[in-house]
Structure 1
Amino acid sequence: MEQSINVLDQPLQTCSEQPMTGFYRNGRCDTGPGDGGSHTLAAEVNAEFLSFSASRGNDLRGILSPGCRWCLCVSRWKEALDAYRQGQIGKQAVPSVIIPATHKMALSKVTIQDLQEFSIDKRQGLRGGSIPDPSSGGPIR
Structure 2
Amino acid sequence: MPTTEPQKAPSRNVLGQPLATCGREPTNPTTGFYRDGCCNTGPQDLGLHTICCIVDEPFLAASKALGNDLSTPRPEFGFEGLKPGDRWCVCAARWLQVQQAGAACPVVLEATHEETLQIVPFEILIQYAVIPDQLH
Letter matched to residue 87 of structure 2: R
1:73 and 2:73 matched:
no
Larger radius of gyration: 2
Q: Deviations over 1:39-68 (max 9, x none)?
A: 000000001111111111111112100000
Q: What is the aligned partner in structure 1 of residue 71 from structure 2?
A: 61
Structure 2 residues not aligned, in runs of 5+? 1-7, 73-80
Query: Which stretch of the first structure deviates more once superposed, 112-121 or 14-23?
Result: 112-121
Q: Deviations over 1:30-89 (max 9, x none)?
A: 0000001000000000011111111111111121000000000000111012222xxxxx
CA–CA separation in structure 2 for the residues paired with 1:80 and 1:50: 9
| Residue among 95, 110, 119 paired with 1:100 | 110
1:2 and 2:12 matched:
no
Percent identity of equivalent pairs? 44
Query: TM-score normalized by structure 1?
Result: 0.77
Number of residue pairs the alignment of both structures matches: 116
| Residue among 3, 6, 25 paired with 2:35 | 25
Report the alpha carbon displacement of residue 2 of structure 1 after superposing the two structures with TM: 3.4
Letter matched to residue 83 of structure 1: A
Structure 1 moving runs of 4+ over 3 Å: none
Q: Deviations over 1:86-115 (max 9, x none)?
A: xxxxxxx21100000000000001111111
